[in-house]
């Protein structure tokens, strides 16, 4: 049996290794596994074990590793950003549902969705710097550009709260609407977008005081953001509606919509910028959207309740891009 297991592992690693240049990683949240897909072949190459209830992932500030939060085992599984191979496990990170590194690389923050607290760790050694208990299912988080503030959505109470990273004090705590989930700081550092999963669009907040400055209708169950890459356009998945909206954040309007059935959730874009990959939670698939045509061109079978999705970096790729991208990587909800 041991020999068989070794040979299978060898085979998997060989396949993965040969496809590393164009591999995609998908977290199967209800299966304790992650799938490695071939981007060009549009097929699952391997399914490997990973903790329990893995939901989100985030690239380390140096761009060399990708961190997977294993929520039910209180640990982080650190994978190679190029191959997806397992490197190490960081223990005692309680309920790491949604995560983010502050733009200056100093802080690592987690939203413990089921345990109702936000944890601030030192990013260099993952030592806990502070734990803030707050009711209401802390769901997603985002940072301001100078790494002074972390903004957290509270899905159950319909609020967004801003914490000072250094002092861990609450700066403001405001009601924004039904079930806020995905949260995104725009590059101008002056507008905070919050997707309302219990409504049909997003609200724009002023990061200084949390006041609502604009709203935009996108689709029922507006949920999670992903940058198109030009600093202006962003995708937003609408879980209940079964669509993904393309938003122009300069004019603050929807400029395109694509139907993605089955509870679309997290997203990532291929390095050439031509395809958007979207997890379809209910259908146990990942949809491939042609961005120019705004049309689903493929749907690839994976494991149960796929959540986080991530394009592994090829040898040619440099460190992960800036904080906006890193924050957006960890999107989605229960």
Partner 1 sequence: MRDLIDIWVGIQTWIFETFVGPVLFRFGQMAWYEPGYNAVEFVMLGVVQIAVIAVGMRFFERRWPLERPGKDDGLILVDQVYTVLNKLGVIPLAIFVVTYPLVQEIELTVRAWGFAPPRLERVLPWLGDNALASFLVYFILYDFAAYWLHRAQHAFPWWWALHSLHHSQRRMTVWTDDRNHVVDDLLITLALVLFSQMVGVQPGEYVVILMIGRLVESWSHANVDMGFGWLGNRLLVGPRFHRLHHALASPEERHIQDHNFAPVFPIWDILFGTAIYDERNRPTGVADPVVDADNGRGWLVQQVTVFWRFVRTLVPRFRRASAL
Binding residues (CB under 8 A) for partner 1: these are 1-2, 4-5, 8-9, 12, 30-32, 48-49, 51-53, 72-75, 92, 94-95, 114-115, 137, 155-156, 178-179, 197-198, 220-221, 239-240, 242, 261-263, 281-284, 301, 304-305, 333-334
Residue 243's contacts (CB-CB under 8 Å, 6 or more residues apart) are 218, 219, 237, 257, 258, 259, 260, 264
Q: Tell me the closest approach of the beta carbon of residue 229 to partner 1, in angstroms.
A: 29
> Nearer Cβ to partner 1, position 8 or 167?
8
Residue from 38, 36, 73, 37 nearest 54 by CA = 73
> Nearer Cβ to partner 1, position 129 or 252?
129
The DSSP string of 140-173 is EEEE-TTSSEEEEEETTTTEEEEEETTT--EEEE
> Nearer Cβ to partner 1, position 111 or 291?
111
> Nearer Cβ to partner 1, position 53 or 144?
53
> Nearer Cβ to partner 1, position 30 or 248?
30
> Nearer Cβ to partner 1, position 122 or 274?
122
Residue 138's contacts (CB-CB under 8 Å, 6 or more residues apart) are 97, 98, 111, 112, 113, 116, 117, 118, 152, 153, 154, 155
Q: Tell me the closest approach of the beta carbon of residue 116 to partner 1, in angstroms.
A: 9
CA atoms within 13 A on the CB side of 253: 2
Q: Are strands 54-59 and 285-290 parallel, antiparallel or unpaired?
A: unpaired
Q: Tell me the closest approach of the beta carbon of residue 156 to partner 1, in angstroms.
A: 5
Instruction: Say if residues 34 and 52 touch (Cβ distance below 8 Å).
Output: no
Q: Tell me the closest approach of the beta carbon of residue 301 to partner 1, in angstroms.
A: 5
Instruction: Say if residues 331 and 153 touch (Cβ distance below 8 Å).
Output: no
How far apart are the C-alpha atoms of 25 and 15, rounded to whole Å? 14
Q: Tell me the closest approach of the beta carbon of residue 228 to partner 1, in angstroms.
A: 26
Q: Tell me the closest approach of the beta carbon of residue 194 to partner 1, in angstroms.
A: 14
């Amino acid at each position: 049996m041991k020999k068989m297991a070794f040979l299978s592992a060898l085979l998997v690693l060989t396949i993965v290794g040969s496809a590393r240049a164009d591999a995609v990683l998908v977290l199967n949240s209800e299966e304790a596994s992650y799938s490695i897909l071939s981007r060009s072949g549009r097929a699952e190459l391997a399914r490997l074990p990973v903790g329990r209830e893995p939901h989100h992932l985030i690239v380390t500030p140096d761009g060399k590793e990708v961190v997977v939060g294993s929520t039910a085992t209180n640990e982080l599984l650190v994978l190679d950003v190029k191959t997806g191979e397992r490197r190490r496990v960081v223990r005692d990170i309680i309920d790491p549902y949604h995560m983010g590194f502050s733009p200056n690389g100093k802080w690592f923050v987690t939203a413990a969705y089921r345990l109702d607290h936000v944890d601030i760790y030192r990013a260099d050694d993952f030592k806990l710097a502070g734990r803030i208990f707050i009711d209401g299912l802390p769901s997603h988080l985002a940072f301001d550009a100078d790494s002074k503030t972390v903004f957290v959505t509270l899905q159950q109470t319909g609020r967004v709260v801003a914490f000072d990273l250094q002092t861990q004090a609450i700066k403001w705590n405001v009601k924004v609407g039904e079930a806020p989930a995905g949260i995104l700081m725009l590059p101008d550092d002056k507008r905070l977008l919050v997707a309302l999963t219990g409504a049909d669009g997003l609200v724009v907040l002023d990061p200084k005081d949390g006041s609502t400055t604009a709203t935009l209708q996108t689709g029922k169950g507006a949920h999670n953001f992903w940058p198109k890459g030009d600093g202006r356009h962003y995708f937003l998945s609408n879980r209940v509606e079964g669509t993904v909206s393309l938003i122009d954040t300069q004019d603050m309007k929807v400029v395109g919509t694509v139907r993605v059935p089955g509870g679309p959730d997290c997203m990532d874009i291929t390095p050439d910028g031509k395809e958007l990959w979207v997890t379809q939670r209910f259908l146990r698939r990942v949809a491939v959207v042609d961005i120019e045509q705004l049309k689903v061109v493929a749907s690839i079978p994976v494991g149960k309740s796929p959540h986080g999705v991530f394009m592994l970096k090829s040898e040619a790729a440099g460190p992960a891009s800036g904080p906006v991208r890193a924050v957006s990587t960890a999107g989605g909800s229960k």
